[in-house]
């Protein structure tokens, strides 16, 4: 019985078939990721493609074999994962925070792709009072059942924004009066030096190579977490918690 229930829950997380996906989008379902068979062309797909462009759905062209591995049923060359949460636009969220009289604190995740790291980060961010998490459409962890579970439900409580162009989103925040602070080892300034009291966006980078160089150039400050041991770096979810609680210390 439990296995049957788990299978039913998993089936709620994806959908396949052109007409089924069109109906899901028109019903307001949030598509996390859409896989489209390379070279797919027909009148019905043209209707779906129009929606994909209009709604700016995150999609990827893949070989037929990829979709066959996801489903052996009549998928018609398309397979979509449905997000368990709704995404917001940073251009709407930031002005709303100011209108509410808040001092914005936003967490930006640059190429954080591990689902469990993302879930753990979301849990810490919610506990720390972060107003929103900003992620890119591409090169970001899938927000699925594992992410929700690891976040202890925090992803149902915190606002998550998603953007096609993270660089433009960062510039928008700067133009809106927010400072950008990168948590990075590529600096001599430790994390206690920046002033986190003004409206702030903290940028955390990937486990492999940290914050992207183009985003580092945009930042107002860089902050390095002091290391006294022999291992040179922390897991990104732990590092996020460390710097967020320095923000809390200063703001309180």
Task: Check pLDDT > 80 for residue 212.
Answer: yes
pLDDT tens, position by position, 46-69: 999 999 988 888 888 999 999 999
Q: Which of 16-25, 54-63, 138-147, 173-182 has the highest average model confidence (pLDDT)?
A: 173-182
Q: Tell me the whole-structure pTM to 2 decimals.
A: 0.83
pLDDT tens, position by position, 75-103: 999 999 888 898 999 999 999 999 999 99
Query: Would you state the pLDDT for residue 4?
Result: 42
Q: Which residue has the higher pLDDT, 137 or 7?
A: 137
Domains of the chain listed by start with CATH number: 2-82 (3.30.1330.30), 90-251 (3.40.1280.10)
Average pLDDT of the chain? 91
Provide mean pLDDT across the span 159-176: 97
Query: Would you state the pLDDT for residue 12?
Result: 59
List phi, psi (to 5°) of 197: -70, -40
pLDDT tens, position by position, 122-163: 999 999 999 999 999 888 998 888 899 999 999 999 999 999
H, E, C per residue of the chain: CHHHHHHHHHHCCEEECHHHHHHHHHCCCCEEEEEEECCCCCHHHHHHHHHHHHHCCCEEEECHHHHHHHCCCCCCCEEEEECCCCCECHHHHHHHHHHCCCCCEEEEECCCCCHHHHHHHHHHHHHHCCCEEEEECCCCCCCCHHHHHHCCCHHHCCEEEEECCHHHHHHHHHHCCCEEEEECCCCCCECCCCCCCCCEEEEECECCCECCHHHHHHCCEEEECCCCCCCCCCCHHHHHHHHHHHHHHHHC
Calpha distance 187→45 (Å, rounded): 50
The region of weakest confidence among 1-10, 14-23, 35-44, 76-85 is: 1-10
């Amino acid at each position: 019985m439990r296995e049957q229930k788990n299978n039913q829950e998993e089936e709620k997380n994806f959908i396949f078939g052109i007409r089924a996906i069109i109906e899901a989008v028109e019903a307001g379902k949030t598509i996390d990721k859409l896989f489209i068979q390379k070279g797919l062309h027909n009148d019905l797909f043209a209707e779906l493609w129009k929606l994909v462009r209009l709604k700016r759905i995150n999609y990827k062209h893949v070989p037929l074999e990829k979709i066959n591995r996801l489903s052996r049923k009549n998928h018609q060359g398309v397979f979509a994962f449905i997000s368990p949460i709704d995404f917001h636009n940073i251009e709407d969220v930031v002005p709303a925070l100011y209108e509410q009289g808040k001092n914005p604190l936003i967490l930006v995740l640059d190429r954080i792709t591990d689902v469990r790291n993302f879930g753990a980060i979301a849990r810490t961010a919610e506990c720390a009072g972060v107003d929103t998490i900003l992620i890119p459409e591409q090169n970001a962890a899938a927000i699925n059942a594992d992410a929700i579970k690891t976040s202890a439900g925090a992803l149902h409580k915190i606002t998550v924004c998603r953007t096609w162009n993270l660089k433009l989103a960062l510039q928008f925040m700067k133009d809106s009066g927010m400072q950008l602070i990168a948590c990075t080892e590529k600096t001599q300034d430790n994390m206690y030096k920046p002033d986190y009291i003004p409206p702030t966006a903290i940028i955390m980078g990937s486990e492999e190579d940290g914050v992207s160089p183009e985003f580092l150039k945009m930042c107002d400050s860089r902050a390095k977490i002091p290391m006294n041991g022999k291992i040179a770096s922390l897991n990104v979810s732990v590092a996020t918690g460390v710097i967020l609680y320095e923000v809390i210390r200063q703001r309180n």
